[in-house]
Structure 1
Amino acid sequence: MGQITKRAYRLSDGRDLIYFDDADTTLDPERGPDLREPAARPLTATMRQDVLTGEWISIAAARQNRVVLPPSHLDPLAPASPENPSEIPSLYDVAVFENKSPSFGPALSGPDAPEGLADLVRVGLGRSRQSVGRCEVVCFSPEHTGSLARLSLSRMRTVVEAWADRTAALSALPGVEQVFPFENRGEAIGVTLHHPHGQIYAYPYITPRTAQLIRTIEDYGGNLFEDILSFEQKSDRVLLRGEHWTAFVPFAARWPLEVHMLPHRHVPDLAATTDDERDEFSRLYSRLLRGVDALYDTPTPYISAWHQAPVHSHREDVRLMLQLTSPRREENKLKYLAGSEAAMGAFIADIPPETAAARLRAAIDKVDIDQKATAQP
């Protein structure tokens, strides 16, 4: 088997497109150009500060024009054809490109461009800035339908490599303070494309969730993530454990289905992981996702989120963590964020974490047994 290969191109309007070829790819290394007529990119969105919280709200009106659940012959993430001039000109294994209608985009000159993190931290009435940063789309497969769970192990490893590569590249952009790879899966989560894909956001600020984590770390006074890992590994909520990673249902899970994965050593982000860590994660994550889908007769909607350390600070304190959450609490029941959760941020859990962990372990075991039986001659 060869190595995962990265190939950089540009789309007709100047946006970046990067192909990541599997280590065992069968594709020709040459890729065709984007034959679409160059089009003007939308203006970078603006963001306004909520003076009650100090948080910034990006107002990206161009997102209103997004395609919603198109048929397969008009899939914008499929390889381009004469009938479908899509975002990706050639057949691919994994492809990453700049979002056409991003929530965060390139810096433009003007008085409302951010002047750095210190400028964004300050709180005041009527404050507005450009939503400087970057949004990328990560296509897991050229197929119109499917899921990350059903990819080959080689393809899963390519996806992990793409996440790590893009984390490093986006972290190096001027004005970026945090990089967030994630996957929204399922119409119940709000996805607008059936095509299996994820996204990466590069923010000009430290996100509210991470800012709260930093305050918690400062208040805790010890090695928070090392203590969490030790505490959870001794519990009956562990789902998977390898040499480099442990997956578990957290002690105070908010969602009916919630899984965290922590590396066994401190790393601030995906770019800092080793090849061995990426290899093992690919295997464990594939098993986890298959188990999540085995819980019910239909695929489970979820959000899978990589929580990474800020680019320029707290990198010795904030450890890389994957958090997968789903609102699905039964076969035909979803948890909705009602008054307490939506208005006050005070979650009410429907399922004890130990019960959820037992169900997930049983589902993962069933998938493992079925795969072994299928593999036998």
Structure 2
Amino acid sequence: MDAPHRRFNQLTGEWLLVSPHRTARPWQGQVEDTAPVSRPAYDPECYLCPGNKRAAGATTPAYDSTYVFDNDFAALLPTASGPSSGGLLRAEPERGICRVMCFDPRHDLTLAGMQVSAIRRVVDAWAAQTTELGDIPWVRHVQIFENRGAMMGASNPHPHGQIWATEHVPGEPAKEIARQQAYGECLLCDYLAVELDAGERVVCDNDEFVALVPFWAAWPYETLVLPRRHRGALPDLDDAARDGLADILQRLTSGYDRMFGVEFPYSMGFHQRPTDGEPYPELHLHAHFYPPLLRSATIRKFMVGFELLGQAQRDITPESAAERLRALSRR
């Protein structure tokens, strides 16, 4: 598939343009700083290190595992007080709870550098937060995500992610839910079977989970992480599946880091069933990784121009991206 073509994203119903012949084009655009990252195990100036005072005045306790707290500068509040209007200028209040999860007390670690047993504690905390927040009557969706690296807007280098519980299902998961429900059976179960049979886009796998570059990937080294067995949400995972997810996350993120010899930036997040009490039998738990680096540690993909005004476009094929990641994500 070296000629320009387009691919259909089954999860969103949108098309993607693939232009493999553009990989040879010269680059005179922005070049990122690749200064070596060196962080201490504890930083007295870090708001998220154990025992330190945060910017809003609260003190982070001396935690020794994962630690979750309500975001001091939350984007949403649990009380509905926003504007309400209809017609062409439609607006309505939105309630929400925003939390921060510190993955580990050590300031110098990321998921890629953590032991699988430590990542398992993170997985358990994600599942517990999904249950706790999902049990709030007005919460309909729990979005777990991580922005890794300054390039992705992370405001603090300490290993952490976020959890936003919202009154309504956000736009991106809503598109995926509609597509999966329209399919009838489980779209992602069938899709995973096709990918496992083909093999060329699989990056790494174990008995419980598979990481692959989706056929319709828009970002250069985008990946999709899926449980082999049908599960709708993180709390549904048993002990073996949680261990498997921890293993895949460690292998995938450490593989990213080996790609260009830097802490690979990305935005990652889980899509799981809404928490409104409905069964959603068609929905299959999955995680998206969206890393921006394209050719090297200094050149990234920008979603601009045609991507903003037309449709997503990529240069390197998903198959070539998977081949490179696969070689770097082995045990």
With normalisation by structure 2, the TM-score equals 0.80
CA contact (8 A) 2:47 2:53 kept: no
Q: CA RMSD in A?
A: 2.3
Match of 2:281 among 316, 324, 335: 316
Aligned equivalents of 1:335, 1:158: Cα separation in 2:
33
1:97 aligns with 2:69: yes
- Relative distance call for 1:147 and 1:247 in structure 2 (3 A) is same
Determine which of 331, 336, 341 is the counterpart of 2:302: 336
Shift of 1:146: 2.3
Q: Is residue 206–residue 310 contact of structure 1 (8 Å, CA) maintained in 2? A: yes
- Alignment of 1:197 onto 2:163: no
Identical-residue share of aligned pairs (%): 33
Q: Does 1:80 align with 2:51?
A: yes
Q: Which of 265-274 and 221-230 deviates more?
A: 221-230
Distance (Å, rounded) in 1 between the aligned partners of 2:265 and 2:302:
13
SS of alignment partner, residue 159 of structure 1? helix
Q: Distance in 2 between matches of 1:317 and 1:279?
A: 24
**Bigger mean CA offset, 296-305 vs 141-150:** 141-150
SS of residue paired to 1:351: coil
Output the TM-score relative to the length of structure 1: 0.71
CA deviation vs aligned residue, 1:143-191 (integer Å, no higher than 9, x gap): 2232111112221110010000000001111211111111100111111
Structure whose alpha-carbon radius of gyration is higher: 1
Where do 1:5-154 residues align within 5 Å? 72-81=43-52, 87-108=59-80, 124-154=87-117
Aligned mate of 1:212, from 163, 175, 190: 175
Structure 1 residue 223 displacement after superposition? 2.8
Distance 1:257 1:82 in 2: 37
2:213–2:223 contact (8 Å) kept in structure 1? yes
Bigger relative contact order, structure 1 or 2 (CA pairs below 8 A, ≥6 apart): 2
Alignment of 1:270-349 (within 5 A): 270-312=234-276, 313=278, 315-331=280-296, 332-344=298-310, 346-349=311-314
- Quote the offset at 1:292 in angstroms: 0.9
Partner Cα separation in structure 2 for residue 222 and residue 113 of structure 1: 39
Q: Give a deviation string over 1:24-60, Cα, whole Å, max 9, x none.
A: xxxxxxxxxxxxxxxxxxxxxxxxxxxxxxxxxxxxx
**Structure 2 residue runs without a partner (length 5+):** 1-41
Instruction: Work out the number of aligned pairs and report it.
Output: 286
Deviations 1:90-112 (A, max 9, x none): 2321100010111122125x6x5
Residues 48 and 54 in structure 2, CA contact (< 8 A), matched pair in contact too: no
- SS, match of residue 320 in structure 2: helix
Amino acid at match of 1:340: F
Structure 1 segment 200-279 matched on structure 2, within 5 A = 200-235=163-198, 236-279=200-243
Using the TM superposition, give the Cα deviation of residue 337 of structure 1 relative to its aligned residue in structure 2, in angstroms. 1.1
Residue 265 of structure 1: how far off its partner (Å): 1.9
Deviations 1:66-86 (A, max 9, x none): xxxxx9322111112589965
**Counterpart of 1:160 in structure 2: which amino acid?**
V
Aligned mates of 2:219, 2:308 — CA distance in 1: 13
Q: Structure 1 residues 126, 234: CA separation in 2 closer, same or farther (over 3 Å shift)?
A: same
Shift of 1:125: 3.5
Deviation at 1:133, TM superposition (A): 1.4
